[in-house]
């Protein structure tokens, strides 16, 4: 039996979060735009059906059939229009217009409403094939509207000789099946999206400390430096590691070394700002990418980290408390320099200067930048 949690997990797929919709739209946009060629091809080519069914009436449906070529505009619209909601509205409007045109065609064919009633099922496949990049709510709504619209036109007398009972028996079971298919597709995409995000987070996160890893950090610092140069904003880098870390491992065990690493990661997260990126480069070495921060501001954060580290106790395997210190190097990216290699090398060199200077201190980059 399903619990309340299971039911809520299913219902949440009807309200896809915006990140899911953005990714879904990005993945399926090209596919959707190509599929809009299908109504034009099918709508125009089915004039042959008109001719076979009623050669005389088919003379009056050529112009209406050519109206289906209007869907060929949508591949270009999908390429140049960025507003997804506008495209959703326009796509539904196109489907409703196509249904209206199809009804006009059937009215011009002798016994068209009898022989062509099965053609309405084609419109139910439009959301399934062409609206994949839209939200599941849009897909469900469009399927419902496409099923209801011809019946409504029949009730108000626009669709002449509309066979309401036959239509309901044929179309509504198909519409329900299509809605279930939309739900299944949305469920499958959501599960795949969440799996991909989990894998991406795992691949970009250090498993011991929970901060970013080097793999994620290198492209991040590259992008942020390019952005800072474009906007003329400062960006700085802190690199630090634990003093005499090997001694901690050798004397107190690797579990104590891991505890020191985790403690330092926690301190870095606490002292860094929301916009900063904390990364474990490897071993006991960490880096903090500071956005919108000059050298002086970066040194202020580095000092808070240094002071907090020397006051943070680590409990060893034997329940003894030990303390550790850190050596820190700080560098600011110069104006006109777009190379992440420069700031990494400068901050790393400054950290080793702090080691030489006696550890438990902060040094800044001293090598001038020349273009």
Q: Both 241 and 306 in a single domain?
A: yes
Residue 40, SS3 per DSSP: helix
Catalytic option among 50, 107, 284, 348: 284
164 with 240, same domain? Answer: no
Q: Is the same domain home to 178 and 222?
A: no
Is residue 281 predicted with pLDDT exceeding 60?
yes
Q: Which of 278, 276, 255 is nearest to 266 (CA)?
A: 278
Q: Is residue 70 one of the residues assigned to a domain?
A: yes
Note whether 90 and 126 are same-domain residues.
yes
Contact 37, 75 (CB under 8 A): yes
Helix residue spans in 67-213 (DSSP H): 74-80, 84-108, 112-115, 120-130, 136-155, 164-204
What is the helix (H) or strand (E) element at residue 352, kind and residue range? helix 340-356
Q: Are residues 234 and 255 in the same domain?
A: yes
Let me know whether 197 and 48 are in one domain.
Answer: yes
In this structure, the answer to whether residues 99 and 192 fall within a common structural domain is yes
Q: Are residues 171 and 242 in the same domain?
A: no
Q: Are 128 and 174 in contact (CB under 8 A)?
A: no
Tell me: do 115 and 261 sit in the same domain: no
d(CA 164, CA 114): 11
Question: How many Cβ atoms sit within 10 Å of the Cβ of residue 247?
Answer: 12
* pLDDT of amino acid 13: 54
**Are the beta carbons of 118 and 166 closer than 8 angstroms?**
no
Full DSSP string of 109-136: STTHHHHSGGGHHHHHHHHHHH-TTS-H
Amino acid 324: pLDDT: 95
Residue 97 forms part of a structural domain: yes
CA-CA distance, 182 to 167, in Å (whole number)?
22
Give the pLDDT confidence score for residue 11 in this predicted structure. Answer: 54
Asked if residue 154 belongs to a domain, the reply is: yes
Pick 269 or 2 by higher pLDDT. Answer: 269
Tens of pLDDT, residues 126-172:
898 899 899 999 999 999 999 999 999 999 988 888 999 999 999 99
In a domain, 207, yes or no: no
CATH code at position 282? 3.30.70.270
d(CA 64, CA 105): 7
206: left (phi over 0), alpha (psi -120 to 50) or beta: beta
| Of residues 203 and 328, more confidently modeled | 328
- Whether residues 102 and 193 share a domain: the answer is yes
The rounded Cα 42 to chain-centroid distance in angstroms is 34
pTM of the model: 0.69
Q: Specify the pLDDT at position 16.
A: 79
* pLDDT tens readout for residues 192-208: 888 888 888 888 899 89
Nearest to 75 by CA among 42, 29, 28, 24: 29
CB contact set of 132 (below 8 Å; sequence gap of 6+): 24, 28, 31, 32, 139, 185
Predicted pLDDT at 1: 47
Q: Are 94 and 71 in contact (CB under 8 A)?
A: yes
Radius of gyration of the chain (CA): 32
Examine the residue annotation and report whether 284 is marked as an active-site residue of this protein.
yes
User: Which DSSP state fits 177?
Assistant: H
Per the prediction, the chain carries an average pLDDT of 90
**Partners of residue 242 on adjacent β-strands:** 326
Domain span at 25:
4-202
When divided into structural domains, the chain yields a total of 2
């Amino acid at each position: 039996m399903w619990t309340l949690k299971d039911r809520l997990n299913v219902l949440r797929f009807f309200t896809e979060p915006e990140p899911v919709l953005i990714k879904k739209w990005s993945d399926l946009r090209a596919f959707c735009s190509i599929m809009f060629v299908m109504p034009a091809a099918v709508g125009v080519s089915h004039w042959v059906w008109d001719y076979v069914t009623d050669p005389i009436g088919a003379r009056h449906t050529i112009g209406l059939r050519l109206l289906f070529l209007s869907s060929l505009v949508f591949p270009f619209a999908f390429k140049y229009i960025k507003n997804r909601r506008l495209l959703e509205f326009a796509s539904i409007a196109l489907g409703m217009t196509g249904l209206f045109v199809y009804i006009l065609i059937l009215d011009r064919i002798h016994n068209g409403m009898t022989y062509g009633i099965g053609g309405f099922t084609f419109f139910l496949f439009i959301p399934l094939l062409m609206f994949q990049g839209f939200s599941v709510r849009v897909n469900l709504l469009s399927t419902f509207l496409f099923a209801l619209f011809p019946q409504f036109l029949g009730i108000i007398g626009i669709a002449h000789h509309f066979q309401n009972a036959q239509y309901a028996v044929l179309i509504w079971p198909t519409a329900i099946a299509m809605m279930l298919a939309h739900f299944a597709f949305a469920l499958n995409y959501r599960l795949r999206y969440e799996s991909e995000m989990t894998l991406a987070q795992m691949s970009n996160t250090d498993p011991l400390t929970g901060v970013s890893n080097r793999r994620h950090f290198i492209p991040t610092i590259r992008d942020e430096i390019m952005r800072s140069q474009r906007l003329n904003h400062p960006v700085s880098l802190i690199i630090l590691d634990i003093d005499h870390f090997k001694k901690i491992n050798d004397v107190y065990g690797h579990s104590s070394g891991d505890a020191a690493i985790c403690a330092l990661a926690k301190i870095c997260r606490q002292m860094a700002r929301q916009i900063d990126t904390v990364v474990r480069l490897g071993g006991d070495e960490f880096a903090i990418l500071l956005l919108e921060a000059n050298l002086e501001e970066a040194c202020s954060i580095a000092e808070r980290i240094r002071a907090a580290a020397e006051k943070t106790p680590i409990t060893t395997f034997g329940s003894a408390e030990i303390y550790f210190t850190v050596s820190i190097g700080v560098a600011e990216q110069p104006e006109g320099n777009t190379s992440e290699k420069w700031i990494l090398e400068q901050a790393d060199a400054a950290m080793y200067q702090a080691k030489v200077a006696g550890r438990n201190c902060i040094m800044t980059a001293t090598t001038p930048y020349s273009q």
